[in-house]
Amino acid sequence: LLISADMNSYVVLVAVMASLVHAAPSWNGPLASPVVLPSGYLADTPEVASLRAAHLAALAAAPGGNPLYAPLYDSPADVPFPKWNGPLASPVVLPSGYLADTPEVVALRAAHAAALAHSYH
C-alpha cells in the first residue's frame, strides 16, 4: 500500500511537470519573411532601418572630436623605425602546395637530425 501511494505521487508529479511544459509560452506571431539582397546579406526590416537611420542622424548631430584631447603641434618629429633592408625572399612552392625549405633551413635540419642521432647512441 505504501508503494502504491509513492507511485501515485510520482504520477501526479510527472503530470504536473508535463502540463508546465505545454503551458510554456511560445511564439504565436507572424512568421518572418526574410529578404535576401543580391549581395547575399539579409535586408533590414522596416523597424531596424528606421532605428538605424535615427541612430545615424543622432551621430551626425553629435559634436565631433573629443574636447579633452589637445594635440601638441610642436611635438617632435616621428622617429623612423628600423626596417628590413635585406634581399627579398623568393619562395619555392612545391607540387604539394607547401613552401620548400631554404638551404639554411635544410642545413639546420640536417644538423639537428645528426645531433639527435648522436644523442641516442
Q: pLDDT tens, 58-74?
A: 988 887 766 666 666 66
pTM higher than 0.75: no
DSSP result, 62-76: SPPS-TT----TTPP
Q: Radius of gyration of the chain from Cα atoms? A: 36
- Grid cell 543622432 — which residue? 58
Cα–Cα distance, 3 to 10 (Å, whole number): 11
Closest CA to 103 of 119, 114, 90: 90
Cα–Cα distance, 40 to 72 (Å, whole number): 46
As a whole-number percent, the residues of the chain with pLDDT over 90 amount to 23
Instruction: Answer yes or no: are the C-beta atoms of 99 and 91 closer than 8 Å.
Output: yes
Closest CA to 91 of 79, 82, 100: 100
pLDDT classification of 14: cutoffs 50, 70, 90:
confident
